[in-house]
Amino acid sequence: MNGRSFTDRDIHLALDGELPEDERTAYQAWLEANPDMKARSQRFAADNAALRGLFSGVLDEPVPARLAAAVNGDTPKRKGMPPWWRMSAAAALLIAGGLGGYLVGTGGFGFGPDSDDRMAELAIAAHQTFAADKNRPVEVDGSDPAYLTGWLSKRTGLNLVAPDLTGNGFQLLGGRLVPAAGSTAALMLYADEQGNRISVYVTTGGIDATKGTYVLADGGPEAVYWQEQGYGCAVVGTLPPDELRVVARDAYKQLLAGAGLARS
């Protein structure tokens, strides 16, 4: 195996336990000799763990026949496919494909590289999973915002602040790491006195400024999102739309200011 040239594909094989036994020594030596690829392997492993945590409740469920057929290309793609269906199919593909590092390639399920909906769908999925969790909605509580944002910043590669939304009636509960498209996102949760919860989902985003709102076809929480200057942010909740937009603007303005960036 001397001289073997390894690639990203081998990283995924190794993480999935499918790299041939007689190649593992050479593979480890290749990682040690290529710090960038070793860092990529570690990032993929972290994505793997985060995705498994997010989908832990469904990983052992059988994939519905219609979704398996779609993943295998046995069902023609229909224009206007509801976003919740695309999300389920993408999750099935992630599970079947070993999870880590495959999300960017799932363009056929509404997660194409130019889709602003991709980030909004993942933000809504994370909100629905953790905002309703009464036992452990966050990994790190919000009693020390500086520690929380330092912890999240180190693991996402972003310079983060926890927006102060007390003026909007919301207190910081804390935060956690959740999956993003090919990376890891920070999710910060807030609650008001009535028990309403909103989440601020932050990940790497595009340079070109885009913004919008997004709701799943079958209803539920709304996402107000922006992408600009390398940041992507979605504020998710079930507040009245006008109220949610005010909260979202306040949160995003603080996120950019905390990172030393000006609104475009």
Tell me what percent of the residues of the chain surpass a pLDDT of 90. Answer: 32
Q: Dump the DSSP string for the chain.
A: -TTPPP-HHHHHHHHTT-S-GGGHHHHHHHHHH-HHHHHHHHHHHHHHHHHHHHTTTTTTSPPPHHHHHHHTT-SPPPTT--HHHHHHHHHHHHHHTTSTT-GGG-GGGTT-TT-HHHHHHHHHHHHHHHTT-SS-S-SEETTSHHHHHHHHHHHHSS-------GGGT-EEEEEEEEE-SSSEEEEEEEE-TT--EEEEEEEE--SS-EEEEEE-TT---EEEEEEETTEEEEEEE-S-HHHHHHHHHHHHHHHHHHTT----
Q: Write out the chain's pLDDT in tens, 264 residues.
A: 455 678 878 888 888 888 888 888 998 888 888 888 887 787 777 767 666 666 655 566 666 665 566 556 554 444 444 444 444 444 444 444 443 333 333 333 333 333 457 888 899 999 998 998 888 899 999 999 999 999 999 988 889 999 999 999 999 999 999 988 778 899 999 999 999 999 999 998 766 778 899 988 878 899 999 988 788 899 999 999 999 999 999 999 999 888 777 555
Q: What is the pLDDT of residues 204-213, one digit of tens each?
A: 876 677 889 9
Q: What is the pLDDT of residues 96-111, one digit of tens each?
A: 444 333 333 333 333 3
Structural domains of the chain in order of their starting residue, each with its CATH number: 8-54 (no CATH), 119-258 (3.30.200.100)
